[in-house]
Each structure stands twice: as C-alpha cells, then as structure tokens.
Amino acid sequence: MNNLEAMGWDGYWEGMFRAWSDAGPRQGSDAASQFVPARVVSVDRGSVAVRGNGIEARIPLGLPRNSEEDESWPPVVGDWVVVDDAAGSDVASISGILRRRGYLERPSTEQYGVAQPIAANVDAVGIVEPVFPAASVGRIERFEAIAHRAGISAVLILSKTDLLEPGEPAVPAELDTRGFAALVPWSSHLPQGLERIVDAIPDHGTIALLGRSGAGKSTLTNMLTGAGQATGSVRAGDGKGRHVTTARGLFFGNGRVIIDTPGVRAVAATAHRDDIDAVFPDIVELAGSCRFSNCTHAEEPGCAVRRALRDGALDPERFERYRRMLRESAFRAASDKRITRARERTSTKNNTRGRHAAMRHKGRGN
C-alpha cells in the first residue's frame, strides 16, 4: 500500500483530482509544473506539512493562487491538496485544495463570528472522555452537537475505565447515548475495547479524536496506528493524564488514519439550535406534547416538559444543560449576525470607495 492509500486515498479522491486536473492549467503554473496529490498532516504558522507518494515536505503558505480557493484557504489538517512539485524548483507549492468532505470546526470560546477549524475530510469523530474521576456529560454533549453540525457520525470512547471501582458503571446514567454510532468503554491497560473502536472507523476512513487534555487521545492514536507519539503519565491522585499534544496532527498506520487534536478546556455551544436539539431528542419529543407550540417550559399550563420533571421522567440537570446551551446558542447566533452585517457594511463601503477612486482617476486621465 502506498502513502496515498494508507492516508485514505480512494476512487472518490482520484476522481476529484482528475476533475481538478481536467480544468486546465492554473494561474502561476508553467510547463515545468508537476501536479501531484498529497495530504496535509500538520499545520504550523505560515506553513503546512504534506505527505504523498514520493513527496514529504513542509510548504510555506502564501495567498491562494486562484479565486475559487479563497473560501477554503488556508489548508487544514486532513485536507487533500494539489502540490506543484515543479521540476528544478527547490520549494514545492500548493496549487489547490480538493473539495472538502466532512469539515469539522468548533465555535471560538474567545470571539463571536469566528469558527476554529479542527480538521477536514473526517469520516467519524471520536469523543474521548475519561470516566475517572468523573465524566463531563456536558462536554460530551457539546462535542456531539459539533459533530452533528458537520454531518459526521460520533463515536463515544469512555477512557480510563481501569480506574473505576469494581462494579462501578462506565456510562454516566444521565447521558443519552442514542446519537452515537458506537459507545466504547476503553482502557490502555485493558485494551479489549480497541477492536470495537476499530470497527467504528469506516474502511479507509479518517477519525478525528476530540477531548480534554490528558483524556488518552495520543495513547489511543499510538495503539491504533503505531505512531509512537509522546504520551504523558497519569497522576496517581486524580487519574488525570498530562497534557502532551499541542498541535493537530494526522497519523496513519495499520490501515487506519487518525487525527489527534490538542486538548480542549472549554467547548462553546454551536449557534445552530437544530444541532443542539439533535443531542436532546427526549426533551424535543416531550416539548412536542406541550399545550402551546411556543412553550418556554417555565410556567405555562399543559407543559409536558415540566410534568416530566415533576414525575422524575426527566433529569433536571440534563434539562438545565439543554437550556444553558440554548441560551448560549441564541446569544452566539445574534452576535454572529451582527458581526456579519458589520463586515458586509465595511465591504460595501470599501467597494464604493474603490469605484469612486477609479472614476476620479479616469476623470483626471481624460
């Protein structure tokens, strides 16, 4: 198996590359251009590392050569790119990005109107959450909403199960697991669950691992691919692993492709309510039985959600996590809209000024 196939290259990507090639010469290319496909395995400030058949290089990034690449520029980990490995040139360059499939991003916790790219061309998301000392159900739910937004199936991997007391359940009772393609309790010391994780990865597919620092993502990547990344020890007092991964990276081996990501301290709620509702199908189903379609589940008569809370059929903490995410989502959506409008106004003003300047210049020339 060559590097391309080992990194997930298949007939689909071959067709995409041929379509790109058939579109004709690109701006900036010349007779010496030799276009070859490669995959982005890491991203640094101002450059990306790519690997392909016969090519392994770190390529500095400039502006995109073609206007059609503007929206997808710059490349992110997991992107399939077209490299101009020009004969006689000391430095390769990126001439294009193949159209993405399964683009994963998360809302910024620091800025509204900004999304932070995670990875491209992802077929499954592995949410790695340690069960000791206690799993964060809220973090799991927020990662699940991000995966749903991208249209990517999510696999829940509950790590560090060897630290649980005998008979202690690995799956939190308050977690609704219906939205996951698979749920796998796993420990690096008791690797029986590894086969179930492997089964959850699509053939020739790429899985991106998300989770907090020390959750076991790098250890899992090593076990799945044999990558040999550095891993941190586990503190004896609280079972927490030490932070190791500081940048996203794509690793492949043993027929698997894994994107390991840095640990996330806080996960912002998506601005899209539909993706939050998908994580809480039980609450959405209850809300459908409320007397009023616009019920806020506060004091309205005939509220099926409040009735479920009183009867113990709905966990109050789960309902509060849902409401908290909706509040954050609504505020983020409104803020994003204001920022988008401001950007559009600025763009319109700049275009108008540019036209006026061009007209004045033309007038002086006459």
337 is in an annotated binding site: no
- Known binder of ligand: residue 148? no
With a CB cutoff of 8 Å and minimum separation 6, the contacts of 158 are 129, 130, 131, 135, 170, 171, 183, 184, 185, 186
pLDDT attached to residue 361? 57
Q: Are residues 319 and 205 in the same domain?
A: no
pLDDT value of position 242: 46
Is the pLDDT assigned to residue 159 strictly greater than 50? yes
Rounded to an integer, the average pLDDT of 318-327 is 95
Residue 297 marked in a binding site: yes
pLDDT of residue 277 exceeding 50, the answer is yes
Q: Is residue 267 part of a domain?
A: no
219 is known to lie in a ligand binding site:
yes
Was 160 annotated as part of a binding site? yes
161 appears as a binding residue in the annotation: yes
Q: Give Cβ neighbours of residue 18 (< 8 Å, ≥ 6 apart).
A: none
Q: What is the pLDDT of residue 24?
A: 61
C-alpha pair distances (Å), 296 with each of 150, 290, 324 = 28, 10, 13
pLDDT at 356 over 90: no
> In which band, very low, low, confident or very high, does the pLDDT at 234 lie, cut at 50, 70 and 90?
very low
Q: Residue 133: which CATH number?
A: 3.40.50.300
Q: Do 255 and 143 reside in the same domain of the chain?
A: yes
Quote the pLDDT of residue 338. 79
Sign of CA dihedral 228, 230, 236, 237: negative
Residues 137, 53, single domain; the answer is: no
On whether both 256 and 165 belong to a single domain, the answer is: yes
Among 8, 4, 1, 2, smallest CA distance to 201 is for: 8
In a domain, 49, yes or no: yes
Among the residue ranges 144-148, 205-209, 224-228, the one predicted with the least confidence is: 224-228
> Is position 231 annotated in a ligand binding site?
no
DSSP secondary structure, 237-290, as one string: TT-PBPP---S-EEEEETTEEEEE----S--PPPS-HHHHHHH-HHHHHHHTTS
Residue 215 labelled as part of a binding site:
yes
**What does the pLDDT look like over 96-153, one tens digit per residue?**
999 999 999 998 877 777 789 999 999 999 999 999 988 999 999 999 999 999 999 9
**Lowest-confidence region among 181-185, 187-191, 284-288:** 187-191
Instruction: Flag whether 204 is marked binding.
Output: no
Q: What radius of gyration do the chain's Cα atoms show?
A: 24
Is 189 among the annotated ligand-binding positions? no
**Among the listed ranges 118-122, 177-181, 213-217, 347-351, which one has the minimum average pLDDT value?**
347-351
Pairing of strands 124-130, 206-210: parallel
More confident residue, 124 or 86: 124
Find out whether 296 is annotated in a ligand binding site. no
Q: Is 332 annotated as a binding residue?
A: no
Q: Is residue 238 part of a domain?
A: yes
Confidence at residue 32, expressed as pLDDT on a 0 to 100 scale: 47
Rounded distance between C-alpha atoms, residue 121 and residue 305, angstroms = 39
pLDDT in tens, 18-41: 999 888 655 555 544 689 999 999
132 shares its domain with 246 = yes
357 labelled binding-site residue: no
- How many C-beta atoms lie closer than 10 Å to residue 276's C-beta? 25
| pLDDT higher at 248 or 155 | 155
- Decide if pLDDT at 236 tops 50: no
Span 329-343, mean pLDDT? 79
Is 212 marked as a binding-site residue? yes
Considering the domain boundaries, does residue 345 fall inside one? no
C-alpha atoms less than 13 angstroms from C-alpha of 365 in its C-beta half-sphere: 6
Give the span between the Cα atoms of 262 and 235, in whole angstroms.
19
Q: In this predicted structure, what is the pLDDT of residue 64?
A: 58
The CA distances from residue 48 to 41, 60, 71, 154, 226, in Å, are 8, 7, 18, 27, 23
Q: Does 123 fall in a domain?
A: yes
If asked whether residues 156 and 255 sit together in one domain, one would say: yes
pLDDT at residue 55 above 70?
yes
Please determine, for residue 193, whether its predicted confidence score (pLDDT) is greater than 80.
yes
More confident of the two residues 46 and 191: 46
Domain end position, chosen among 218, 236, 260: 260
Mean pLDDT of the chain: 84
Could you say which of 232, 260, 288 is where a domain stops?
Answer: 260
Confidence of residue 255 (pLDDT cuts 50, 70, 90): confident
211 is in an annotated binding site: yes
Q: Is 295 annotated as a binding residue?
A: yes
**How much of the chain exceeds pLDDT 90, in percent?**
51
pLDDT attached to residue 351:
60
Considering its fold, how many domains does the chain have in total?
A: 3
- pLDDT of 237 > 70? The answer is no
Adjacent-strand bridge partners of 59: 48
DSSP 276-289: HHHH-HHHHHHHTT
Choice between 87 and 218, residue whose per-residue pLDDT is larger:
218
The phi-psi region of residue 24 (left if phi > 0; otherwise alpha if psi is between -120 and 50; otherwise beta) is: left
Looking at 260, 282, 310, the residue that finishes a domain is 260
221 is in an annotated binding site: no
> Are 65 and 131 members of one domain?
no
Clarify whether residues 141 and 238 are in a common domain: yes
Asked whether residue 92 falls in the same domain as residue 114, the answer is no
8-state DSSP, 1: -
Q: What is the pLDDT of residue 34?
A: 85
CATH of the domain at 300: 1.10.40.50
CB count, 10 Å around CB of 5? Answer: 13
Domain limits for position 250: 104-260
Tell me which residue of 209, 254, 207, 251 sits closest to 227, measured CA to CA.
251
Arithmetic mean of pLDDT, 232-258? 66
